[in-house]
């Protein structure tokens, strides 16, 4: 297992490493179950997203070999999607990516509008809320003088997104019924 | 900004039980605050949606690299051997 020995610094490094160590395992499993390359790819990529999002959880998979963890998620997704085996409960607390998307009550048009009106803000918000970078790292990455300044800007950006959503809610076509 | 920060603590469950209750009481008393809380929650969902889309695009870019660049040839051969009949 080479997983713990490689210093992973960027998302690209992380994904290349995951492809090299976990994708062959997922591919072998999917093939064994009668699946195709495209199905293995879809399952693997969704498993990788879930792994990425759970990295900073207190019960994170970091202590274990990530390739086995990703394979475990992939198996779960496979049974869920292609076999509808409701008895698979070992990883049942994993997030359902599609169900989570449905909680968002805004349209793709509005998403694009918010993105166009403040890409830098969204990248800053992504760094904090999704990538879970600490404020010191964020300050360095986005060129702020310090953590305090980065924190202030983060809240300003959040308020900008929030106010934009609220204002645009007046034009109903941007929202689902 | 204090209000936004307070709402964040509440919505992301960072408060202890007492502060959580206090914020619930404030929300009951203020329609304006409730509206802000709703849109702030939608903002977090939007940020996740945006971030996830970006992440998926990054993963797809790596996938394309893995299946095209020469330095990953042995990796490709390994995968091809698994899917001999499918690729």
User: Angle at the Cα of B53 (from B49 to B57), degrees rounded to 5?
Assistant: 170
Mean pLDDT, chain A, whole residue set? 81
Looking at the structure, do residues A111 and A158 belong to the same domain, yes or no? Answer: yes
Give the per-residue pLDDT at A119.
87
pLDDT tens digits, one per residue of B14-29: 999 999 999 999 999 9
* Domain total of chain A: 2
Looking at the structure, do residues A85 and A150 belong to the same domain, yes or no? Answer: no
With a cut of 80, say whether residue A97 has pLDDT above it: no
Query: CA nearest B5 in A: which residue?
Result: A155
* Domain total of chain B: 1
Give the per-residue pLDDT at A115.
81
**Structural domain that includes position A69:** 3-99
Task: Report helix, strand or coil for B41.
Answer: helix
In angstroms, the separation between the Cα of residue A122 and the nearest Cα of chain B is 7
Instruction: Look at residue B26 and tell me if it is in a domain.
Output: yes
Instruction: Look at residue B87 and tell me if it is in a domain.
Output: no
- What span, in angstroms and rounded, lies between the C-alpha atoms of A68 and A73? 9
Which string of b and e fits B5-21 if b means at least 16 CB within 10 Å?
ebbbebbeeebeeeeee
With a cut of 90, say whether residue B87 has pLDDT above it: no
Looking at the structure, do residues A113 and A147 belong to the same domain, yes or no? Answer: yes
With a cut of 80, say whether residue A173 has pLDDT above it: no
Q: B74 is written with which tokens?
A: 């042995």
Q: Which of A8, A13, A15 to mutate to test the interface with B (most CBs of B within 10 A)?
A: A15
- What span, in angstroms and rounded, lies between the C-alpha atoms of B4 and A170? 22
Choose one of A67, A99, A131: the last residue of a domain: A99
List, as ranges, residues 22-51 from A with C-beta within 8 Å of B.
23-24, 27-28, 31, 36-37, 40-41, 45, 48-49
A15–B75 C-beta distance less than 8 A: no
Choose one of A69, A99, A129: the last residue of a domain: A99
Choose one of A70, A99, A128: the last residue of a domain: A99
pTM for this model (two decimals): 0.83
B47–A125 C-beta distance less than 8 A: yes
Nearest to A163 by CA among A128, A120, A126, A118: A118
**Structural domain that includes position B51:** 2-82
Mutual orientation of helices A23-32 and A37-54 as an angle, nearest 10°? 130
Q: HSE (CB half, 13 Å, CA atoms) of A21? A: 19
Task: Report helix, strand or coil for A128.
Answer: helix
- What span, in angstroms and rounded, lies between the C-alpha atoms of B80 and A35? 14
With a cut of 80, say whether residue B31 has pLDDT above it: yes
Looking at the structure, do residues A113 and A66 belong to the same domain, yes or no? Answer: no
pLDDT band of residue A91 (cuts 50, 70, 90) is very low
Looking at the structure, do residues A63 and A119 belong to the same domain, yes or no? Answer: no
Q: B15 to each of A20, B2, B19, B52, how far by Cα in Å?
A: 41, 14, 6, 26
How many CB atoms sit inside 10 A of residue A136's CB? Answer: 12
pLDDT band of residue A162 (cuts 50, 70, 90) is very high
Looking at the structure, do residues A83 and A125 belong to the same domain, yes or no? Answer: no
């Amino acid at each position: 297992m080479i997983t713990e020995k490689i210093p992973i610094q960027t998302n690209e490094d992380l994904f290349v490493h995951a492809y090299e160590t976990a994708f062959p395992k997922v591919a072998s499993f999917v093939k064994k179950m009668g699946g195709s390359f495209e199905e293995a790819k879809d399952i693997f990529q969704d498993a990788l997203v879930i792994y990425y999002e759970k990295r900073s959880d207190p019960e994170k998979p970091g202590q274990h070999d990530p390739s086995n963890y990703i394979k475990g998620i992939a198996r779960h997704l496979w049974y869920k999607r292609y076999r509808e085996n409701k008895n698979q409960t070992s990883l049942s607390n994993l997030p359902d990516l599609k169900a989570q998307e449905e909680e968002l009550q805004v349209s793709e048009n509005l998403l694009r509008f918010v993105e166009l009106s403040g890409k830098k803000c969204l990248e800053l918000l992504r760094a904090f809320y999704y990538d879970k970078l600490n404020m010191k790292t964020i300050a360095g990455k986005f060129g702020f003088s310090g953590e305090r300044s980065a924190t202030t800007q983060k809240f300003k950006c959040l308020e900008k997104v929030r106010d934009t959503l609220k204002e645009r809610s007046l034009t109903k076509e941007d929202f689902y019924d | 900004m204090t209000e936004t920060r307070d709402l964040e603590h509440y919505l992301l469950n960072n408060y202890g039980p007492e502060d959580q209750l206090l914020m619930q009481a404030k929300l009951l008393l203020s329609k304006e605050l409730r509206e802000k809380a709703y849109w702030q929650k939608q903002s977090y969902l939007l940020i996740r949606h945006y971030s996830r889309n970006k992440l998926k695009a990054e993963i797809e870019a790596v996938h394309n690299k893995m299946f095209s660049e020469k330095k990953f040839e042995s990796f490709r051969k390994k995968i091809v051997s698994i899917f001999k009949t499918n690729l």
